[in-house]
Chains A and B, each alone.
Chain A
Amino acid sequence: MLNVDNIVVSVRNGPDIVRGVSFRIEPGEILGLVGESGSGKSMTSLALMGLLPPALHLSAGSITQDGADVTHLAPHERVRRKCGKMAMVFQEPMTSLNPVLRIAEQIEEAVRVHDPDTDASPRARELLDMVRIPDTAHQMRSFPHELSGGMRQRVMIAIALACRPQVLIADEPTTALDVTVQLQVLGLIRDLCNRLDMGVLFITHDLGVVAQLADRVAVMYAGSLVENADVEPLFRAPLHPYTGALMACLPNPESDDAVMATISGSAPRPGAIPPGCPFSPRCSRAQQPCLSGPVPCARGVAGQTAMCHFPLNESVLA
């Protein structure tokens, strides 16, 4: 089990990008992390992996896996740990594989790190079978540029599975892919999650994908989680006005409106986040208390929470 407690990611000598994010992921569960670009989703995931770029650092909070503290460990420092592992699939399959190494070499390399005693080649083939790559013998000999985007993303997933992860982090893994390929990859992730009893942190800006795939959802805005809920109650009755506004932006085929709904204004940049509720300048429900001071946590039924003074759908509040 992965437990993330109040982590803060900051630019060195600069503003905070992720401002106190907490969640947990159980085995076999998919947590969808939703937010606009720049909300800190990717930096949260890189912080979990110990892969933050040099300009950023994890300045507070803790990350524990099976009770073991992995907060400040780089991936190679976690290999020998007894606790469960984390692995990650990135957004850009086109650039995430080394262009000069064959697919086999790139997968076998990951296998050898985590299973130094097994024969890497059959295990690599097994991993490619797991991600349903056809004609594995041929694909193993290929170079990345000879594969399509969908195939490359499957290879990335195979590499991630090499460490038998307890939690798979997928950072917008389908954003760069065609719609049909997207569906295949999403189906694959759901299937692997069930089959391997693996937790998944699925990062996306696409609420439609979350509705299809996730068990639980965390909504991120300006570096903070503003709402946490199981997927079904969230879509039925969002508590946070930001979540509500995101849903209002989903295109509705039955509507006669020619113009699609948008949220007015734009998300604040790190370092320029307003005091009080960060969403207050764009929020139609904002009142005086929203503009300063701490924001209370509104609790709905079944563990739904939202950081808001004046939540939507008050009927579901516990």
Chain B
Amino acid sequence: MGRYFLRRTGAAIITLIAASIIIFGFIHLIPGDPIYVMLGDGATPEQVALLRNRMGLDEPLVVQYMIWAGNALQGDLGQSIFFDTPVTQVIKEGAETSILLATITMVWIILFGVPVGILSAIRQGTWIDQGLSGLAMLLASVPTFWVGLYLILIFAAGLGWFPSSGFPSIFEEGGLSNLRYLILPSLALAAPNAALILRLTRASMLDVAREDYVRTARAKGIRPYRVVLRHILRNALLAVVSAFGFTFAALISEAVVTETVFALPGIGRTVVQSILRRDYPVIQGVILVTVCLYLVINLLVDLSYRLLDPRVELE
């Protein structure tokens, strides 16, 4: 277990270093001088020199990278050009919304995708299975923003059950009841991913159901529902759990669109706005934090996989 953990952590660190080089290099991929791109054509030479010096762009590339990475390690991701505040501050402001949104979305995905996938597998070939499979295909193929707009149209504008946009912090007036602002966006974000988890759970259950050891379990005289829960589901979930890591990656990129549609003050919307404002330090910072988060979550998924499957250590 210890060696497994060290090996996985080592791999994650190498990935992080590679990602950080790409993220760092990204500012230099912009055609022309990034300073002019940031400040626009009307910038005075003094402004240009000031910004160039402040961003350290007059140093050699390797030195620039070491300074940037060194600062990042100490939690300093630089200054936002637009807000003139530390990038970490900008990320912190969006973090609450994004973390809550991602968490609630994951809850929907697990609550809907896994049980419905199980139901679909148990009722394989019946109208229930076909109906659910059709629904899953529909949800997976419709773009998130479209689902979002329809949810707003029906449940916010039409029925008035949920607010359509914005999100006041849960630490402000209203407290936890403010989470209702996140219901519709999280549903929109969950829809395509829950559909994929549903399909994966179903396929995995059907695969495992054909295994010899499931026949052994039946031969013991165990009741069918216990065969499903104890023997089929537990093994089928191995594949589903490893998909949660990828689902999270999908959430990050899809959250950008969802936060924009629902006008949520999250990190995704911050990135979109920063791209429009050419606020490169913010973009770099957000991407770096996202990569870290992604690596940590996949590390956790790998470790939980090890707990679920006793064979992993040998392989």
- Chain A nearest CB, measured from B281 CB (Å): 47
| Contact string against B for A residues 134-171, beta-carbon threshold 8 Å, 1 for contact and 0 otherwise | 00000000010100000000001001101100000000
- B232 and chain A: residue at smallest CB distance: A98
Q: Given A100-B234, A100-B308 in contact, is the A74-B218 Cβ separation under 8 Å?
A: yes
Q: A156 vs B314: C-alpha distance in the bound complex, in angstroms? A: 23
The reply to whether B216 and A96 contact each other, CB–CB distance below 8 Å, is yes
Query: Does B222 sit at the interface, judged by CB under 8 A?
Result: yes
Question: Which residues in chain B, 224-239, are within 8 Å of chain A measured between CB atoms?
Answer: 224, 230-231, 234-235, 238
Chain A contacts of B224 at CB under 8 A?
74, 76
Flag if B216 contacts A100 (CB, 8 Å).
no
Which B200-219 residues sit within 8 Å CB-CB of chain A? 211-213, 215-219
Q: How many residues of A contact B (CB 8 A)?
A: 29
In the bound complex, do residue A96 and residue B215 qualify as a contact, i.e. CB atoms below 8 Å apart?
Answer: yes
Cα A196 to Cα B224 with chains together (Å): 29
Chain A residue, CB-CB nearest to B310: A143
A12 within 8 A of B: no
Task: Flag if A92 contacts B220 (CB, 8 Å).
Answer: no
Q: Is the CB of B222 within 8 A of A95?
A: no
Residue B3 CB within 8 A of the other chain: no
Closest CB in chain B relative to A141 CB, distance in Å: 11
A206 within 8 A of B: no
- The answer, yes or no, to whether A87 is at the interface (CB within 8 Å) is yes
A97: contacting residue among B213, B221, B230, CB under 8 A: B213
Is A294 part of the contact surface with B, judged by Cβ < 8 Å? no
Cα distance A258–B288 in the bound complex, in angstroms: 73
In the bound complex, what is the Cα–Cα distance between A183 and B238 (angstroms)? 37
Is B309's CB within 8 Å of the partner chain A?
A: yes
B7 within 8 A of A: no
Q: Are the CB atoms of A75 and B220 closer together than 8 Å?
A: yes
Task: Confirm or deny: A269 has a beta carbon within 8 angstroms of a beta carbon on chain B.
Answer: no
Enumerate 28 A-B pairs (CB-CB under 8 Å) in ascending A order.
Answer: A49-B219, A51-B218, A75-B218, A75-B219, A75-B220, A76-B218, A76-B224, A79-B221, A90-B212, A90-B216, A92-B212, A95-B211, A95-B213, A96-B216, A97-B213, A98-B213, A98-B231, A99-B235, A100-B235, A109-B217, A109-B230, A113-B220, A113-B222, A114-B221, A145-B310, A145-B311, A145-B314, A163-B220
Report which A residues bind B (CB closer than 8 A): 49, 51, 74-76, 78-79, 87-88, 90, 92, 95-101, 109-110, 113-114, 143, 145, 156, 159-160, 162-163
